[in-house]
């Protein structure tokens, strides 16, 4: 029986080779019709035998293209169009977009083999891609995902590329990023003053590798933006990059040429190996304990026992890796605190004096992105997102909403991101950075405008943090006036809590959920600085249930930069002589005077980490955000839970005193206890108090968020300590830090939390 039917498929189905896959599958089943992208995904018109169409449908849904993520699908009758064959039709857009966008994909194994094969026409071509790999969001100007909507449209395909594109049997059939050395993107090597060097294409990457091995710093334009690269075995080169980039201590990421080389130098378990080889190709944080190689460890990651490492994820990096005999530093091409750069003129101006040489290419990067950063906790193998960017943005896959008002969430000040709900999908921007930096704020503004333009829908509701001084809040209020949108303030820590509730679909849970929200700072509803919060959520009501006992916040933003100030705020008078050396006499007099008259209080666990790190002599001044906390975790790497002890005594009201905790640590330190044991027991004390509070609250479910929960040892301790008695939830596909605030704002609003 001949029938005519239509299939509609939604999800991540554009830019993943879906249409050519459908074409070949339809031909296999002898079905006529066509397939096209539209504003909602993929639409397939089918004419043929009923049994064949049903088999086609089952096969398509059960075994879709490897990069596709099908969200919904349905089959329904359709009017016949008397099709005589099966074709791929040009995208038809009849309204605003309502589909998942496509993130960037790491280079696939087949493309890697092609660029390494002297007999292949793409041998040594750095921008080799196919339907299964390559940049997507980085080059996107508009959707549906067609070449004309990307910056690749500036490169007209040569006859051979065009033949591949049109040939159903070719693996680049309808590959929108298709190009080759004859028609595609060109590169060049330039010196520090912008003069192009005479280097042939065949010698380019060996020349770059030679420069790096000679101790030079090279800024390389990759597919998401510029990377600053130098020899990771050369401490002088690494320190020179630190000085020029104005990044005194924050660890640098490394790129290893191959997984085999990486595994000969660092221990990698199966979970970590799979993450390194995953399609997003993130930077993965690995322990380097026991390392005996040549890396300039103290220059790369000062004072730390861990390294951020990645493998080549583009053809360009793959070709460079082939010429390298050692790992290289590969850090974002910017000055410390600024956004990653992608424009040649801006790079030559901003990084003049930083890089010795520059590698440019002429592909326009529409959406610059830093590399994503992930850590796998050592015991529970929990995924902890440190930075969600290339390979993950701009989608949040595990969520879909009913049609309604368009909502834009402006997020936070530090670790800023934007979230937009213009249709039934939620879009989460790449990590943007600290909005105190003017260039980051400009990128933030551009990203919000790009979302509005791409989706052709103005926000009708704008969500902002309740902190009146945040640039994200001010920007949101300005947008609300411009578009006549309603504007709602959502408290910072409630947004954190909502992010993890939303990620694990806990809003509809009948049981109450205890929220443990620990971070460095957030504007509280009592106008104090929160950061050590316990919330209770049930039946759309979220209330502050308890908190860390308040202590003095002094010297404004300076307190977050100088852990010694947190320590000064938390000691009793008997400890003052011991820590006085951390200050000069005038400083000490001023700060003690501030403490006497201070009215601003905080419950911040982040500052408690700072105070402990300062007390243990690990860090008195942060040169980068979270340095003290990272160093503290670094000294607590080894422990047995049964040998740990808690320093915390919770009072009858369930509020624990950070001053008592600091006093107990000081007592143990005075008795001669090691820094390592004290660091372990500090973290154990915090894990223990989470369990104690959950028992007092009488709940089964405990959800945790906030930057403190990037501490992998704390996460593992909580898992181990609570697993028999409680269900514990952490951010997994979102960073627990302020990157998740925009997401949490949307979740809080959509679920009508009071």
Predicted local distance difference test score (pLDDT) of residue 162: 97
Instruction: Let me know: does 328 contact 232? Beta carbons within 8 Å.
Output: yes
Residue 336 burial by CB count (10 A; 0-12/13-18/19+): exposed, middle or buried?
A: middle
pLDDT above 70 (res 340): yes
Cβ count near 270 (within 10 Å): 8
- 200-204: list long-range contacts, CB under 8 Å, 24+ apart: 201/124, 202/124, 204/359
pLDDT confidence of 652, banded at 50, 70, 90? low
Quick check: bond before 394 cis, omega within 30? yes
Predicted local distance difference test score (pLDDT) of residue 653: 65
DSSP assignment of 426-491, as one string? -EEPPP-B-TTSHHHHHHHHHHHHHHHHHHT---SEEEEES-TT-HHHHHHHHHHHHHT-EEEEE-
Provide the 8-state DSSP code for 103. -
Compute the distance between CA of residue 415 and CA of residue 499 in angstroms, rounded to an integer: 15
Per-residue pLDDT tens digits for 504-546: 999 987 899 999 999 999 999 999 999 999 999 999 999 999 9
Predicted local distance difference test score (pLDDT) of residue 654: 67
Compute the distance between CA of residue 133 and CA of residue 183 in angstroms, rounded to an integer: 19
* Percentage of the residues of the chain whose pLDDT score is greater than 90: 92
pLDDT above 90 (res 95): no
Region of 82 on the Ramachandran plot (φ > 0 left; ψ -120 to 50 alpha; else beta):
left
pLDDT confidence of 402, banded at 50, 70, 90? confident
* Percentage of the residues of the chain whose pLDDT score is greater than 70: 99
Mean pLDDT of 485-503: 98
Name which of 90-94, 510-514, 549-553 the model is least confident about: 90-94
Q: Which residue in 8, 24, 37, 544 is the catalytic one?
A: 37
Compute the distance between CA of residue 118 and CA of residue 58 in angstroms, rounded to an integer: 41
Could you tell me the domains of the chain? 2-88 (3.30.70.100), 187-373 (3.90.870.10), 402-490 (3.30.420.360), 529-534+548-734 (3.30.420.40)
Compute the distance between CA of residue 600 and CA of residue 529 in angstroms, rounded to an integer: 8
pLDDT confidence of 2, banded at 50, 70, 90? confident
Compute the distance between CA of residue 696 and CA of residue 688 in angstroms, rounded to an integer: 12
Residue 261 burial by CB count (10 A; 0-12/13-18/19+): exposed, middle or buried?
A: middle
Provide the 8-state DSSP code for 416. B
Q: Which residue in 8, 19, 240, 695 is the catalytic one?
A: 19
pLDDT confidence of 98, banded at 50, 70, 90? confident
pLDDT confidence of 397, banded at 50, 70, 90? confident
Per-residue pLDDT tens digits for 689-735: 999 999 999 999 999 999 999 999 999 999 999 999 999 999 999 99
Nearest to 232, CA basis, from 252, 206, 249:
252
Predicted local distance difference test score (pLDDT) of residue 14: 92
Strand partners, 681: none
664 classed as catalytic: no
Compute the distance between CA of residue 90 and CA of residue 710 in angstroms, rounded to an integer: 45
pLDDT above 80 (res 145): yes
544 classed as catalytic: no
End-to-end Cα separation, the chain, in angstroms: 57
Nearest to 709, CA basis, from 469, 464, 533:
533
Mean confidence (pLDDT) of the chain: 95
Predicted local distance difference test score (pLDDT) of residue 336: 86
Please name the residues in contact with 246: beta carbons below 8 A apart, sequence gap of 6 or more: 335, 336
Predicted local distance difference test score (pLDDT) of residue 21: 95
Strand partners, 226: 221
Strands 32-38 and 41-49: antiparallel
Strand partners, 262: none
Predicted local distance difference test score (pLDDT) of residue 649: 76
- Backbone φ and ψ of 534, nearest 5°: -125, 120
pLDDT above 80 (res 620): yes
Mean pLDDT of 91-110: 88
Predicted local distance difference test score (pLDDT) of residue 267: 94
Cβ count near 670 (within 10 Å): 10
Nearest to 703, CA basis, from 497, 488, 407, 411:
497
pLDDT above 70 (res 656): yes
């Amino acid at each position: 029986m001949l029938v005519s039917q239509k299939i509609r498929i939604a999800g991540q189905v554009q830019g993943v080779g879906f249409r050519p896959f459908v074409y070949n599958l339809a031909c296999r089943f002898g079905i006529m019709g066509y397939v096209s992208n539209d504003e909602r995904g993929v639409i397939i018109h089918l004419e043929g035998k009923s049994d064949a169409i049903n088999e086609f449908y089952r096969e398509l849904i059960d075994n879709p293209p490897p990069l596709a993520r099908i969200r919904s699908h349905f089959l329904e009758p359709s009017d016949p169009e008397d099709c005589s064959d099966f074709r791929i039709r040009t995208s038809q857009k009849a309204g605003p977009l309502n589909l998942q966008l496509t993130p960037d994909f790491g280079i696939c194994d087949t493309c890697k083999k092609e660029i390494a094969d002297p007999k292949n026409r793409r041998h040594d071509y750095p921008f080799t891609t196919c339907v299964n790999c390559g940049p997507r969001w980085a080059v996107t100007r508009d959707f549906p995902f067609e070449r004309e909507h990307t910056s690749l449209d500036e490169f007209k395909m040569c006859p051979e590329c065009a033949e591949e594109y049109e040939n159903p049997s070719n693996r680049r059939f309808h590959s929108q990023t298709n190009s080759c050395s004859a028609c595609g993107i060109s590169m060049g090597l330039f010196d520090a003053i912008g003069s192009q060097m005479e280097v042939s294409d065949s010698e380019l990457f060996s020349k770059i590798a030679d420069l790096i091995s000679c101790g030079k710093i090279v800024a390389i334009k990759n597919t998401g933006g510029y990377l600053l690269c130098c020899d990771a075995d050369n401490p002088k080169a690494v320190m020179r990059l630190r000085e020029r980039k104005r990044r005194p201590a924050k660890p640098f990421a490394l790129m290893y040429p191959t997984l085999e080389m990486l595994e000969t130098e660092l221990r990698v378990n199966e979970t970590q190996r799979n993450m390194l080889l995953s399609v997003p190709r993130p930077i993965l944080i690995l322990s380097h304990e026991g390392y005996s190689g040549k890396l300039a460890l103290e220059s790369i990651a000062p004072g730390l026992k861990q390294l951020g490492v990645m493998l080549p994820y583009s053809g360009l990096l793959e070709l460079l890796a082939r010429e390298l005999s050692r790992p290289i530093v590969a850090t974002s091409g910017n000055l410390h605190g600024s956004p990653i750069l992608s424009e040649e003129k801006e790079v030559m101006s901003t990084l003049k004096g930083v890089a010795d040489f520059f590698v440019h290419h002429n592909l326009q990067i529409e959406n610059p992105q830093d590399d994503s950063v992930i850590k796998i906790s050592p015991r529970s193998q929990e995924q902890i997102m440190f930075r969600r960017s290339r390979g993950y943005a701009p989608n949040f896959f595990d969520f879909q909403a009913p049609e309604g008002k368009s909502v834009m969430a402006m997020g936070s000040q530090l670790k800023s991101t934007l979230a937009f709900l213009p249709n039934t999908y939620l879009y989460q921007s790449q990590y943007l950075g600290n909005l105190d930096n003017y260039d980051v704020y400009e990128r933030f503004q551009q990203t919000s405008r790009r979302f509005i333009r791409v989706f052709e829908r103005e926000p009708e509701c704008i969500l902002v943090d309740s902190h009146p001084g945040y640039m994200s809040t001010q920007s949101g209020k300005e947008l609300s006036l411009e578009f006549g949108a309603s504007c709602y303030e959502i408290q910072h820590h409630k947004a954190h809590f909502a992010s993890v509730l939303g990620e694990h679909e806990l809003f509809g849970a009948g049981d109450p959920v205890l929220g443990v929200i620990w971070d460095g700072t957030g504007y509280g509803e009592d106008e104090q600085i929160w950061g050590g919060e316990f919330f209770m959520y049930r039946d759309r009501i979220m209330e502050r249930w308890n908190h860390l006992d308040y202590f003095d916040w002094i010297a404004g933003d300076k307190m977050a930069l100088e852990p010694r100030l947190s320590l000064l705020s938390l000691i009793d008078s008997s400890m003052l002589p011991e820590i006085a050396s951390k200050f000069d006499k005038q400083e000490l007099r001023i700060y003690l005077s501030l403490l006497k008259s201070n009215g601003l209080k905080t419950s911040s666990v982040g500052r408690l980490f700072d105070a402990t790190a300062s007390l243990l002599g690990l860090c008195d001044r942060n040169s980068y955000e979270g340095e003290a906390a990272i160093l503290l975790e670094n000294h607590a790497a080894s422990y047995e839970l049964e040998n740990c002890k808690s320093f915390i005594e919770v009072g009858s009201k369930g509020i624990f005193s950070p001053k008592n905790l600091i006093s107990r640590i000081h007592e143990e330190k005075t008795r001669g206890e090691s820094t390592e044991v004290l660091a372990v027991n500090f973290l154990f004390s915090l894990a223990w108090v989470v369990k104690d509070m959950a028992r007092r609250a009488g709940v089964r479910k405990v959800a945790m968020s906030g930057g403190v929960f990037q501490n992998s040892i704390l996460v593992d301790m909580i898992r181990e300590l609570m697993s028999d008695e409680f269900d514990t939830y952490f951010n997994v596909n979102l960073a627990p830090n302020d990157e998740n605030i925009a997401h949490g704002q949307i979740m809080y609003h959509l679920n009508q939390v009071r």
